[in-house]
Amino acid sequence: MIPELGNFALVLASVLALGGAGLGLYAPREPVLQSGVLSMVFGQWAFSFVAFTALIYAFVVDDFSVSYVANQSNSLLPWYYKVSAAWGGHEGSFLLWILIMGTWMLAFALRSDQYPDRFTTRVLGVLSLLNLGFICFALFTSNPFLRLIPLSPADGADLNPLLQDFGLIVHPPLLYAGYVGLAIPFAMAVAALLEGRVDATWARWCRTWTNMAWALLTCGIALGSWWAYYELGWGGWWFWDPVENASFMPWLAATALVHSLSVTENRGTFKSWTLLLAITAFSFSLLGAFIVRSGVLTSVHSFAVDPERGMYILIFLALVVGGSLSLYAARAGQNTAKVGYEVLSREFFMLVNNVIMVVSLAVVLWGTLAPIGYEAITGGRISIGTPFFNAFFVPLGLMLLGALALVPVLNWKRTRAQVLASVYQALGVSVLLGGLIWFALDPASLLVAGAVGLSVWVVLTHARQLWFRLGKGSVPAAYIGMTLAHLGFAMGTTGIAITATQSVESDVRMSPQSSIVLAGQQVTFTGVIDVLGPNYGAQQGIFIVTDGDRSYELRPEKRQYFAGGNTMTEAGISAGFLADTYISLGEPLEGGAWAVRAHYKPLVRWVWLGALLMAFGGILAVFDKRYARQRRRQEARQGEVTLS
Amino acid sequence: MNRASLFVPLGVFVLILTLGYVGFDLGARSELPSALINKPFPEFNARLLGRPEQSITRDDLLGQPTLVNVWATWCPTCLSEHEQLMQIAATTDVQIVGVNYKDRPDKALRWLAQFGNPYRWVLDDRDGLLGIEMGVYGAPETFLLDARGEVVYKRVGDINPRIWRSELAPRLLQLGVSIAGSDADGARQP
């Protein structure tokens, strides 16, 4: 009964989405009709919430007559995995996507008093139209509420053991919040194009939403990378897998958008470009959904293939992106503004950032889609792997770092060359440090030393300028946010450069009571014991790691899951700020010995910590005083007066 | 701004969309012509993966049919075809030689330890020079050589059960390779 209720709620949500889209895009002037759009948005959220709760309920009470539950869950699962199993597969994860879409719309509707009423109505109309497409996709091609009657199984097939992890609980919701959040700047761009009005005020409205979505997307990607690192047991943290690329592409576009919006807000220029980026960023979210959910590409973590779904998304993509780009082509030309700036100016360096982001985007897009084109022409499947991406991203990353170091001292429009003196002092220090690191590295690499040296340069110039500004009085939250995000980028790049080249990996055969030396630490294998988890049995290896006078235990596991008969490796990781020690069990060998994989990964945490710092900076910038509610409301009113 | 330039994004999108569509609607599959078909496999001298003191040449491949499989650890498609290769190694007596293409030896060895090793030899082609000789587009690629070292068949992309049944198994039977559990047509999957 409850699943049918969920299904019915989803149908109601689709009806409200249709109503909201029609009325919102018609953009009535009457306040009654405008508040009608608002109520339909509340309704969409409420019914999506009911549908999602119904699905969770079906999982919690083990209703295996529901096909999706039978495929994804098992009665032996702990309750928190039963709940998160709801988004462990295609259908449920898409329902989560719809709920998150509804939540963003609700958030926008709740803050609607800050924007002109017709603008709000249009934005919500565009969002409702998108939501309608999402809900119909769920209802017609991937309904999670379908029943298996009368052949309901006694127990479920179990959740993929890879997904039975804390990562599944938090990674998809955060990632989707980022993906779907980009719909807000998209809808604001479309509304602005419909109104033919793009100005600094619009950019200021757009920035808070873009920053939030970007920060959530950053967290989501970082969490996914961290999850892959400890769960897949390969010791890597990024694989240039098509699904990873699918999340990276909207991130690159959103990063460019965050910067270009800043120029549009402060200088009133880059307008068409900003609109285009807002459309592009969300389009890549949709493209990502197409790649992940249609099975066009071979990937470690794509969902089950279904041609019908792929075709639906492709048509949806064509309508949404094609429609908005046509609107852009027809209308964006009205927003040109001539504003001059010199090379040594913030505008120019924002442009550098944008060019690097767009080139990176093109590289990832090429690397992801070329195999499809290739398959279409020849029928063969190939992979474009790490060598291709590294060839581009190493120089692009270095260039970005170099440009970033100058940013804190630059002014809008033009900067006096004398200001650069402090930057050069910092450059001297970082060249010296980079040189030292070059000598210390094994194997020595100029590129790695360069990355670290440039990162140090970025840190020095940003820290110095922040210190200088703090000394002069209060510093806007947006400036601190910018500084933190840039420091996070430097931190992440350092982590990537060091961990990619300085890790020690040894695969050895170890018999009980034997020990090896791993990067100066002594690792002793004491043996294997049997342990029992809630839905698996495991062999647990006990390793004692001694590093100087510090000593600790690592317990990697080899798990056999009861339901599916899957075997999983659970690595034992000692996480440290400066380095991780990572041990996983391979195969049992004769005489109680085991194949053991032991890694020492310096600075690997910095990759994710850097990303989190970036996200934190993005969120901090949202709380800048200049976006404060009261002032904006007044401005919005004034804006309306001048419009009418 | 030039008005025409505003249409550029739309044009790019239509291009990408077309690609997505054809990629999706993989009706027209055709084989990629290889410059090497019916020509001798190129001469080479390559070190073995994990045993750099030992190297083999083209002559070592002669005397029996050989599958030369180009793979790398950075290639997810290679992982998806690996099971098929393991099965070919287990059920036939064809000699399979791997070319580890643009890869790191330590990673490659770990990969083989984890997923199994179907290869008689694995050649270490970390700089991709042998790949250039062979005219490799990407990974995975597979060449079938007869006993005289001539290329009789080339597959760009993965060896999946369909390709195995319809293209590879019949050619192996023609070359006199015995396939366990197969009828004369070699069509049955073990």
pLDDT at B137: 65
What's the average model confidence in pLDDT over A334-338?
A: 63
pLDDT at B30: 37
Same domain, A27 and A123: yes
**Of A248-262, A435-449, A630-644, B122-136, where does the model show the most confidence?**
A248-262
Residue A234 CB neighbours (<10 A): 20
Q: Record the tokens describing residue B161, joined without a space.
A: 């059960």
What's the average model confidence in pLDDT over A571-588?
A: 87
- Amino acid type, A630: Q
Contact call for A317 and B17, based on CB within 8 A: yes
Angle at Cα A446 formed by Cα A442 and Cα A452, nearest 5°? 85
| Domain assignment present for B44 | yes
| Domain assignment present for B57 | yes
3-class secondary-structure state, position A471: helix
Instruction: Please report which helix (H) or strand (E) contains residue A486, including its range.
Output: helix A477-502
Give the confidence band of A16 by pLDDT, cuts at 50, 70, 90. Answer: very high
Q: B98 or A519: whose pLDDT is higher?
A: B98
Same domain, A142 and A211: no
pLDDT at B75: 76
Q: Residue A104 above 90 pLDDT?
A: yes
Closest Cβ–Cβ partner in B21, B106, B139 for A314: B21
Q: Record the tokens describing residue A77, joined without a space.
A: 């699962």
Measured distance CA(A260)–CA(A255) in Å, rounded: 9
> DSSP for A278-337?
HHHHHHHHHHHHHHHHH--S--TT-----HHHHHHHHHHHHHHHHHHHHHHHHHGGGG--
Q: B186 or A537: whose pLDDT is higher?
A: A537
Interface contact A502, partner B, CB < 8 A: no
Q: Which of A325, A368, A504 to mutate to test the interface with B (most CBs of B within 10 A)?
A: A325
Chain B's closest residue to A569, CA to CA, is B114
Overall domain count for chain A: 3
Closest Cβ–Cβ partner in A272, A311, A333 for B24: A311
CA distances from A185 to A267, A315, B9 (A): 19, 22, 18
Measured distance CA(A298)–CA(A426) in Å, rounded: 46
| Domain assignment present for A497 | no
CA distances from A277 to A282, A460, A579, B29 (A): 9, 31, 38, 36
Chain B's closest residue to A326, CA to CA, is B10
Q: Which phi and psi (to 5°) does residue B99 adopt? A: -115, 110
Measured distance CA(A289)–CA(A535) in Å, rounded: 32
Residue A140 CB neighbours (<10 A): 12
Give the confidence band of A375 by pLDDT, cuts at 50, 70, 90. Answer: low
Residue A531 CB neighbours (<10 A): 13
Q: CATH code at A135?
A: 1.20.120
Same domain, A525 and A597: yes
Contact call for A322 and B113, based on CB within 8 A: no
Chain A's closest residue to B17, CA to CA, is A318
| Domain assignment present for B187 | no
Last residue of a domain, one of A164, A195, A210: A164
pLDDT at A334: 67
What's the average model confidence in pLDDT over A259-265?
A: 92
Contact call for A375 and B158, based on CB within 8 A: no
| Domain assignment present for B17 | no
- Give residues 327 to 356 of A whose Cβ lies within 8 Å of B: 328-329, 332-333, 336
Interface contact A294, partner B, CB < 8 A: yes
Last residue of a domain, one of A130, A164, A198: A164
Interface contact A318, partner B, CB < 8 A: yes
Closest Cβ–Cβ partner in A299, A322, A332 for B6: A332
What's the average model confidence in pLDDT over A501-509?
A: 85
Same domain, A252 and A349: yes
> DSSP for A354-376?
HHHHHHHHHHHHHHHHHHHHHHH
3-class secondary-structure state, position A152: coil
Contact call for A380 and B157, based on CB within 8 A: yes
Give the confidence band of B186 by pLDDT, cuts at 50, 70, 90. Answer: very low
3-class secondary-structure state, position A165: coil
Q: Residue A299 above 50 pLDDT?
A: no
Containing structural domain, residue A255? 165-384
Same domain, A133 and A177: no
User: What pTM was computed for the model?
Assistant: 0.80
| Domain assignment present for A343 | yes
Q: Record the tokens describing residue A627, joined without a space.
A: 């976006």
Q: A342 or A246: whose pLDDT is higher?
A: A246
Q: CATH code at B104?
A: 3.40.30.10
Q: Which phi and psi (to 5°) does residue B126 adopt? A: -65, -30
Question: B159-182: b or e for each residue (b if 16 or more CB lie within 10 Å)?
Answer: beeebbeeebbeebbebebebeeb
Contact call for A378 and B29, based on CB within 8 A: yes
Contact partners, residue A436, CB within 8 Å, separation at least 6? none
ipTM value for the complex: 0.70
Interface contact A379, partner B, CB < 8 A: yes
Strands A536-547, A557-561: pairing kind: antiparallel
Contact call for A505 and B1, based on CB within 8 A: no
Tell me the chain B residues in contact with residue A372 when contact means C-beta distances shorter than 8 Å. Answer: 19-20, 22-23
Instruction: Please report which helix (H) or strand (E) contains residue A21, including its range.
Output: helix A2-26
Same domain, A194 and A266: yes
| Domain assignment present for B52 | yes
Task: Give the gap in angstroms from C-alpha B109 to the nearest C-alpha of chain A.
Answer: 9
3-class secondary-structure state, position A640: helix
Q: Residue A520 above 70 pLDDT?
A: yes
Strands A572-574, A579-588: pairing kind: antiparallel
Contact call for B156 and A333, based on CB within 8 A: no
Task: Give the gap in angstroms from C-alpha A379 to the nearest C-alpha of chain B.
Answer: 5
Measured distance CA(B76)–CA(B138) in Å, rounded: 12
pLDDT, tens digit, 9 for 90 and up, residues A432-476:
888 888 888 877 788 899 999 999 999 999 999 999 889 888 888
Tell me the chain A residues in contact with residue B155 when contact means C-beta distances shorter than 8 Å. Answer: 380
Overall domain count for chain B: 1
In the block, residue with structure tokens 């000598």: A439
pLDDT at A636: 53
Tell me the chain B residues in contact with residue A322 when contact means C-beta distances shorter than 8 Å. Answer: 10, 13-14, 17
Task: Give the gap in angstroms from C-alpha A580 to the nearest C-alpha of chain B.
Answer: 19
Interface contact A315, partner B, CB < 8 A: no
Last residue of a domain, one of A325, A356, A384: A384
Question: What separation, in Å, do the N-terminal and C-terminal C-alpha atoms of chain B show?
Answer: 64
| Domain assignment present for B53 | yes
Containing structural domain, residue B162? 32-174
3-class secondary-structure state, position A522: strand
Same domain, A231 and A115: no
Give the confidence band of A608 by pLDDT, cuts at 50, 70, 90. Answer: very high
Closest Cβ–Cβ partner in B1, B106, B140 for A336: B1
| Domain assignment present for A278 | yes
Same domain, A153 and A267: no
| Domain assignment present for B2 | no
Tell me the chain A residues in contact with residue B138 when contact means C-beta distances shorter than 8 Å. Answer: 371, 374, 382-384
Closest Cβ–Cβ partner in A300, A381, A387 for B74: A387
Contact call for B114 and A325, based on CB within 8 A: no
pLDDT at A58: 95
| Domain assignment present for B91 | yes
> DSSP for B84-148?
HHHHHHHHB--EEEEEEES--HHHHHHHHHHH----SEEEEETT-HHHHHHT--SB-EEEEE-TT
Residue A196 CB neighbours (<10 A): 10
Contact call for B78 and A383, based on CB within 8 A: yes
> Of A8-22, A165-179, A198-212, B51-65, which gets the smallest average pLDDT?
B51-65
pLDDT at B106: 85
In the block, residue with structure tokens 């958008």: A257
- Give residues 37 to 96 of A whose Cβ lies within 8 Å of B: none
Interface contact A302, partner B, CB < 8 A: no
Same domain, A85 and A178: no
Q: Which of B6, B30, B117 to mutate to test the interface with A (most CBs of A within 10 A)?
A: B6
Tell me the chain B residues in contact with residue A321 when contact means C-beta distances shorter than 8 Å. Answer: 13, 17
Structural contact between residues A492 and A237, judged by C-beta atoms closer than 8 angstroms: no
- Helix crossing, A90-110 with A166-181: angle to 10°? 50
CA distances from A513 to A83, A516, A619 (A): 42, 10, 50
Same domain, A171 and A316: yes
Q: What is the DSSP letter of B185?
A: T
Same domain, A159 and A286: no
Same domain, A222 and A135: no
Entry field: residues in chain B? 190
Instruction: Please report which helix (H) or strand (E) contains residue A585, including its range.
Output: strand A579-588
Chain B's closest residue to A302, CA to CA, is B76
> DSSP for A30-43?
-HHHHHHHHHHHHH
pLDDT at B32: 47
Q: Residue A398 above 80 pLDDT?
A: yes
Contact call for A507 and B21, based on CB within 8 A: no
Contact partners, residue A508, CB within 8 Å, separation at least 6? A516, A595, A596, A598
Closest Cβ–Cβ partner in A287, A382, A387 for B137: A382
Q: Residue A210 above 70 pLDDT?
A: yes
Closest Cβ–Cβ partner in A299, A317, A326 for B10: A326
Q: Which phi and psi (to 5°) does residue A6 adopt? A: -60, -45
Q: Residue A640 above 60 pLDDT?
A: no
Instruction: Please report which helix (H) or strand (E) contains residue A525, including its range.
Output: strand A521-532
Q: A352 or A633: whose pLDDT is higher?
A: A352
Structural contact between residues A60 and A148, judged by C-beta atoms closer than 8 angstroms: no
- Amino acid type, A234: W
Interface contact A358, partner B, CB < 8 A: no
Contact call for A314 and B14, based on CB within 8 A: no
Q: B53 or A360: whose pLDDT is higher?
A: A360
| Domain assignment present for A475 | no
Average pLDDT taken over every residue of chain A: 87
Give the confidence band of A233 by pLDDT, cuts at 50, 70, 90. Answer: low
- Give the torsion through C-alpha atoms of B74, B80, B81, B87, to 10 deg: 130
